[in-house]
Amino acid sequence: MRVLVIGATGDVGQGVITSCLKRGWTTVAAGRTNSTLADLAQQHNNPLLSTVTGSLDSESAAAELADAADIATVSAVVVTVSAPWRPAPVAECGWDTVTEVFDKLLRPHVNAARVLLPRLSRGATYLAIGGGMADAVFPGMAPVSMVQAAQRNLVRAWSKEHRDSGVNIRELLIAAMVNGHSTRAVAGPDWLTDIEIGERVTELLADPHSNPGPVLTFSVKDRAGA
């Protein structure tokens, strides 16, 4: 299997990279910055891992990334991209603020779906990583919750309307905080680790039909031994 992981140097992305390599899969790590990708490659020192610099900021950028990764030969794409957001009370979030958050967090997923999905071969899997605030709203996080709900429905729409393509379209909704390289020092026992998420992702890539429906939820209660 050849897997393209976009957002590979983030907390979730690094867990997915580790799990793909553990399974012996040829893995392409895509990210914005050459230096962080070089650090990732040095960390793993694995001939199965290659890197591609690129972004999903626009459809043209997504097309360049697809070409660089030779998307036609990819068995699976995992889109883990995200961005930070400063919490603010919903009463302070006017339309300009809401649209700014949508532009920052949802635009990359829209661009990825429009550009990458039509280029994937039959039987390939497209997996977007979403957040648990699609189903829950926390103080100060209303715009992010709105984006995550919209992303979930974006995946559902693509799954329904792109069914004849033969591509398996999925979203893994992470309903927990993530214990990754940037949060290790503050993470609690109720946080899912990057490796746990990576293992769940590779399970889905190995057998995308193991769960019904395009949107799957992964929480602490689903972890091994829970």
Q: Can you spell out the DSSP letters for 80-118?
A: ----------GGG--HHHHHHHHHHHTHHHHHHHHHHGG
111-137 pLDDT per residue, tens = 999 999 999 999 999 999 999 999 889
Instruction: Please give the single-letter amino acid code of residue 163.
Output: R
133-182 pLDDT per residue, tens = 998 899 999 999 999 999 999 999 999 999 999 999 999 999 999 999 99
Residue 205 has pLDDT above 60, yes or no: yes
Q: What is the pLDDT of residue 83?
A: 87
% residues pLDDT > 90 (the chain): 92
d(CA 226, CA 214): 24
d(CA 61, CA 64): 5
Residue 71 has pLDDT above 80, yes or no: yes
178 alpha carbon, distance to own chain's centre:
13
- Is 54 in a helix, a strand, or coil? coil
CB 37 within 8 A of CB 53: yes
Instruction: Mention every residue, 6+ apart, whose C-beta is less than 8 A from residue 55.
Output: 32, 61, 62, 65, 108
Residue 60 has pLDDT above 70, yes or no: yes
Q: What is the pLDDT of residue 225?
A: 54
Average pLDDT score over the chain: 95
16-34 pLDDT per residue, tens = 999 999 999 999 999 999 9
Q: What is the pLDDT of residue 224?
A: 67
d(CA 32, CA 45): 20
